[in-house]
A and B are shown apart, each in its own frame.
Chain A
């Protein structure tokens, strides 16, 4: 439950902490930090880690049906990366004094959030291309900012992740390029995937900053260095030319280059849809949680066997 009153912090320490942030210093796990900074980081980092883990599910759907062996190897490697990314960020979150087990339990119980984008279905192979291109592309824009976050373990995890996600994005764009230049049916499939993933990808950056509860605090403390709207605009500006290059049309009749701002202006986002999916009523929310719980339960015997084996070996070495 949310605390009604914030913990009382020593104003001198808070001032010192904020001065460190202002000087661009990096906060490390054992450094003093306000309780609220710790709490907000645990929330944001664990949600981020959960997103990586749940992100494996829509793509895992196509591993057995990838059209060629080359595509299958690439997709397997990408999904394995997502598991790795989840682990990097869980490990970063644990440096704040929280147990990974506790975070995983929150995900499984449905009390933790993860990125809403993964609550949309992957109904054709082109969706795998669209996810790599748009979803990973949007994630890179966000995570490039987070690689400069004030908390060291988070920033370092982001540096690793950004490097790896460039492969994801290129893989996705190659899939889209190939389909778009293929038969008319394949081209239609690519366009359909872009139509369905475009708006949810823009929603990934979160609500307008004025509607975002946590943005101001995270900005003040140097975790968030750019606004949701600025990041979204950057993503749109980058993506327009990419779509054009592979002969696909972004599904927004209001998309127009603004000479004055040098930005691509775009149409309104359906925030009702965004909040509906965030609150649990997206196309796949229940399916994703059920799949995650099943995978966790199915793995229980492996954890039990590993623990028993480690215990047996420890006893043996004690006896010897």
Chain B
């Protein structure tokens, strides 16, 4: 294809040692190697990170906002999964 821009890649950057990768944006690139280089040039010009992941945008499966309620429901109504649910005798430090 003439005048193409390459597919879209999502960029995840690890900001520092022991920190998790976080989504920072996207880039167009023709292959994974170029996507990494573009991601470095676009999102890492000032030492913003120590590691980058690039993932083809088309490879990402995401939950949908419409289903947010029912989808997360199993985790929302279980107070017994939190320490505050349990009683400790007065004066005991646990």
Q: Please tell me the number of chain A residues within 8 Å of chain B, measured between CB atoms.
A: 27
Instruction: Determine whether B94 belongs to the interface, using a CB cutoff of 8 Å to chain A.
Output: no
Stretch at the interface among A87-95, A133-141, A219-227: A87-95
B21 to chain A, nearest CB (A): 16
A300 to B30, CA, bound (A): 14
Q: Which residues B58-82 have CB closer than 8 A to chain A? A: 62, 64-66
Is the CB–CB distance between A87 and B42 below 8 Å? yes
User: Quick check: is A40 within 8 A (CB to CB) of the other chain?
Assistant: no
- Residues on the B chain within 8 Å of A87, using CB: 27, 42
Which B residues are in CB contact (< 8 Å) with A104?
5
Are B30 and A91 closer than 8 Å at their CB atoms?
no
Residues of A within 8 A of B3 (CB): 101, 300, 303
CA distance A207 to B7 in the complex (A): 38
Is A32 in contact with chain B by the CB < 8 A criterion? yes
Interface string of A290-319 (1 = CB under 8 A from B): 000000000010011011011001100000
Interface size class of B (residues with CB under 8 A): 20 to 34
Q: Does A38 contact B (CB under 8 A)?
A: no
Asked if residues B28 and A28 are in contact (CB atoms below 8 Å), the reply is no
Chain B residues touching A, majority SS: loop
A313 and B31 form a contact (CB under 8 A): yes
Nearest Cβ in chain A — how far from B58, in angstroms?
13
**Chain A residues within 8 Å of B65, by CB:** 28, 30-32
Least CB separation from A153: chain B residue:
B25
Q: Are A30 and B62 neighbours in the complex by a CB distance under 8 Å?
A: yes
B30 touches A307 (CB 8 A): yes
Name the residue on B nearest A313 (C-beta): B31
Taken together as a complex, chains A and B put the C-alpha atoms of A300 and B2 apart, in Å, by: 8
Given A28-B65, A94-B8, A307-B30, check contact A88 B41 (CB 8 Å). no
- Residues of B within 8 Å of A81, CB to CB, are 45
Does B6 touch A at the CB level, under 8 Å?
A: yes
Q: Are A100 and B5 in contact (CB under 8 A)?
A: yes
In the assembled complex, B4 has its CB within 8 A of some CB on chain A:
yes
- What is the bound-complex CA distance between A30 and B62, given in angstroms? 10
Q: List 28 A-B contacts (CB under 8 A).
A: A30-B62, A31-B65, A77-B45, A84-B41, A84-B42, A84-B45, A88-B25, A88-B42, A94-B26, A100-B5, A100-B28, A101-B3, A101-B4, A101-B5, A104-B5, A157-B25, A303-B3, A303-B4, A306-B6, A306-B30, A307-B1, A307-B4, A307-B6, A309-B31, A310-B6, A310-B30, A310-B31, A314-B31
Which 4 A-B residue pairs are closest in the complex by CB-CB distance? A310-B30, A310-B31, A306-B30, A91-B26
B residues whose Cβ falls under 8 Å from a Cβ of A: 1-6, 8, 25-28, 30-31, 34, 41-42, 45-46, 62, 64-66
With A84-B42, A87-B42, A300-B3 already in contact, 18 other A-B pairs whose C-beta atoms are closer than 8 Å: A80-B45, A87-B27, A88-B25, A88-B42, A100-B5, A101-B3, A164-B46, A300-B2, A303-B3, A303-B5, A304-B2, A306-B6, A306-B31, A306-B34, A307-B6, A310-B6, A310-B30, A314-B31
